Amino acid sequence: ELKVEQNPLFLSMQEGKNYTIYCNYSTTSDRLYWYRQDPGKSLESLFVLLSNGAVKQEGRLMASLDTKARLSTLHITAAVHDLSATYFCAVLGVNRDDKIIFGKGTRLHILP
């Protein structure tokens, strides 16, 4: 059974600092997703990672995937207040009957 764990679950950081959110999963997967959710809003797709070593960047956010370690990271560079949100990773197993399983989310609070 596929399990997805994110850490930390809550992160408070100063503007200008760098930090990394980790997403570990328990079984083989070839598709990993990162989403952002603002308070009271829906989920917005950030990145789709499809292969080992995949790296994608958008602004101050960079996501990477290591399928051998079953680990994805979301790195925040020089954080700004606008990045405050909850970030979810989600994983799809390789079996075609598998469904996308979400982590519990990392609530990121960036202090001005």
**Which range in 16-24, 57-65, 70-78, 85-93 contacts other proteins by CB under 8 A?**
85-93
For position 100 contacting other proteins by CB under 8 A, the verdict is: yes
Compare residues 17 and 99 and give the one whose CB is closer to other proteins. 99
**Interface with other proteins in residues 38-57 (CB under 8 A):** 41-45, 48, 50
Find out whether 35 and 46 touch, Cβ atoms under 8 Å: yes
DSSP 15: T
Compare residues 103 and 110 and give the one whose CB is closer to other proteins. 103
Compare residues 78 and 94 and give the one whose CB is closer to other proteins. 94
Helix (H, G, I), strand (E, B) or coil at 99: coil
DSSP string, 52-112: TT-EEEETTEEEEEETTTTEEEEEE-S--GGG-EEEEEEEEESSTT--EEE---EEEEEE-
For position 96 contacting other proteins by CB under 8 A, the verdict is: yes
**Which range in 12-20, 31-39, 61-69, 75-83 contacts other proteins by CB under 8 A?**
31-39
Distance CA 77, CA 80 (A): 9
Task: At 109, list the tokens.
Answer: 């609070």
Interface contacts to other proteins, rule CB under 8 A = 31, 33, 35, 41-45, 48, 50, 88, 90, 92, 96, 99-105
